Structure 1
Amino acid sequence: MKKILIQLDTDPFPSTFDRVVAVDAGVDELFSYGGVTPETVEGLVHGAIFTRSPRDLVNTAIFVGGSHVAAGEALLRAVTKTLFGPFKVSVMMDSNGSNTTAAATVLTAARHLDLSNTTAVVLGGTGPVGCRVTQLLLGQGATVRLASRSLDRSKATCESLASVVNCAKLSAHESQSDAGLAAACAGVDLVVAAGAAKTRLISAARLQAISTLKLAIDLNAVAPPGIEGVEVMDKAREHARFLAYGAIGVGGTKMKIHLAAIKDLFATNDRVLDTVAIYDLGKSI
């Protein structure tokens, strides 16, 4: 029986990136739908679960994507709510690559650091990737400082994370002012820049001033880099006292996780691959 992946994208046109990865992961048939909302998804899900017998639904899966992560989260909730009893298929959500990128970032950090004894600052921490990087770092026992240009947004994100992870080692910081950025970065082992494209979050001088720094990861692939001096292709490149990764340096791991996750959807018919599940899958690669 053919493996069918149903791509539900919240954007008007389904992502070509996600379609290519699905094909490379060995999907036999790919059904792609754009402009999908929680209000319109029920019929698409019913079409997926009522056309094959429950024992054969392992050969059908759903991928939720799009450029807006909050919209993808809402769509994922609607999809899982529609599934019931034996009429289930596995579902993965990776809107804007947020889950696979966050998983790859934390797994990259874990190659060089004992995360349970790591203090990290996540710059741009209120964004979808930064928030997920923070969640996963906390889950591995790290102490995390979530930094944003707005202290109010940083505090709000920390409060929202409390519903999904133990936040005893999490603190909110503002990084708009030089003093605020210096305080957020003081004594850290790890700096992750997860801000919007074309946004410089920390200068080379400020980075060099962190005497305890062991690893810097910049997830911005569009110039200028989020971390001045870190190149997009850096992969464990030595920068004085610390190692550095750029977006492409992390991207190889991200792609491996994405491919493995698509394949994993067809292992059973009841998987929900979200942030933590995708990270756990990545640990086995």
Structure 2
Amino acid sequence: MKKILLQLDCDPLASVFDAVTAYDAGADVVLQYGNVTTENVVDLVYGVMFTRGGDKLKYSAIFIGGSNVSRASEILDVVKKTFFGNVRNSVMFDPSGCNTTAAAAVAKMTKACDVKGQKVVVLAGTGPVGQRAAAMFAMEGAKVVVTSRKFEKAQAAAEEIKATFGLEVQPFAAFDDESTTEALKGAVAALCTGAPGVTLIREPLWKANPSLKVLGDVNAVPPMGVEGMKSSYNGEVIEGKVMLGSMGIGGLKMRVHRTCIERLFERNDALFDAQSILEIAKELS
């Protein structure tokens, strides 16, 4: 029986990246829908819920993506409420690659350094990847600080993380060398999740920090978020710090993404969201 993936995207055009990854992971057919909303998603889900029964339900699965994580989250809520009893399909939630990217970064960084009970800083952590990474570090027992250039944005992100995951993180304004140095004081790990081409930690700052053990950067566009970072770094030790660049993190991200798609078709009641995707990333790292 063919493995059919229903790709639900809140953007006008469904992501080609997500479709190609799904095919590479073994999906036989990807049904792509853009402009998916909470109002029109139910009939799409019915199409995979009611066409196969019993053990065959597992051969139809759902992927929720798009660039707007809030809207995608609302769609996920409706999808979950549409299911009943054993009439359901496995679902993966990864809009903007937020879960797979964050999980890959956190898995690699926590493998390089034990963060339980330790301070970890997620710089420019107000976006989808930053918020998910902050939550995942907190799941691993870290004392997490989320920064933004404006305290109000960092505070809003902390409140969103609390509302979504029930986890506490500390907001902090880091807008220059002095405030960034203060944010990093006592931290064992720092992850940059800012906009492409924006440097968040200058090289003299991280080199002079005695507590930092691992630095991660998801930015692939020069200049890097961590000055002196190379996107190809995948565990190289520079000045006593383990360095993880976007390609080093991205390689694991793609493996995690494909593995989640593969496992969607093993059962009909799986949900791959932040915590379960992090567990897969730790397994593969």
The TM-score normalised by the length of structure 1 is 0.95
Q: How far has the Cα of 1:121 moved from its partner?
A: 0.8
State the Cα deviation string for residues 116-158 of structure 1 (Å, max 9, x = none): 1432111011111111111111111111111111111212222
Q: How far has the Cα of 1:16 moved from its partner?
A: 1.3
Q: Counterpart in 2 of 1:228?
A: 227
**2:223 & 2:70 partners in 1: Cα distance?**
26
Does 81-90 or 98-107 show the bigger shift?
81-90
Secondary structure, in 3 states, of the residue corresponding to 1:284?
helix
**1:159 & 1:180 partners in 2: Cα distance?**
21
Q: Counterpart in 2 of 1:83?
A: 83
Q: Counterpart in 2 of 1:242?
A: 241
**2:86 & 2:145 partners in 1: Cα distance?**
43
**2:251 & 2:77 partners in 1: Cα distance?**
29
Q: How far has the Cα of 1:12 moved from its partner?
A: 1.5
Q: For the aligned residues, what is the CA RMSD?
A: 1.3
Does the CA contact (< 8 Å) of 2:177 and 2:205 recur in 1?
A: no
Does the CA contact (< 8 Å) of 1:54 and 1:88 recur in 2?
A: no
Matches within 5 A, 1:58-97: 58-97=58-97
State the Cα deviation string for residues 158-181 of structure 1 (Å, max 9, x = none): 2222231442xx321101133321
Q: How far has the Cα of 1:42 moved from its partner?
A: 1.0
Does the CA contact (< 8 Å) of 2:115 and 2:141 recur in 1?
A: yes
**1:29 & 1:84 partners in 2: Cα distance?**
25
**1:140 & 1:5 partners in 2: Cα distance?**
31
Q: Counterpart in 2 of 1:45?
A: 45
**1:259 & 1:8 partners in 2: Cα distance?**
17
State the Cα deviation string for residues 49-95 of structure 1 (Å, max 9, x = none): 11112432111100011122222212211211212222200111111
Q: Counterpart in 1 of 2:207?
A: 208
Query: Which residue type is aligned with residue 114 of structure 1?
Result: D
Query: Which residue type is aligned with residue 44 of structure 1?
Result: L
Secondary structure, in 3 states, of the residue corresponding to 1:122?
strand
Q: Counterpart in 2 of 1:111?
A: 111
The TM-score normalised by the length of structure 2 is 0.95
Does the CA contact (< 8 Å) of 1:155 and 1:172 recur in 2?
A: yes
Does 108-117 or 213-222 show the bigger shift?
108-117
| Structure 1 portions without partners, runs of 5+ | none
Query: Which residue type is aligned with residue 100 of structure 1?
Result: T
State the Cα deviation string for residues 216-239 of structure 1 (Å, max 9, x = none): 101001122111110111111221
Q: How far has the Cα of 1:244 moved from its partner?
A: 0.7
**2:116 & 2:249 partners in 1: Cα distance?**
21
Secondary structure, in 3 states, of the residue corresponding to 2:112?
coil
Q: Counterpart in 1 of 2:171?
A: 172
Query: Which residue type is aligned with residue 48 of structure 1?
Result: V
Does the CA contact (< 8 Å) of 1:135 and 1:165 recur in 2?
A: no
What percent of counterpart residues are identical?
Answer: 38
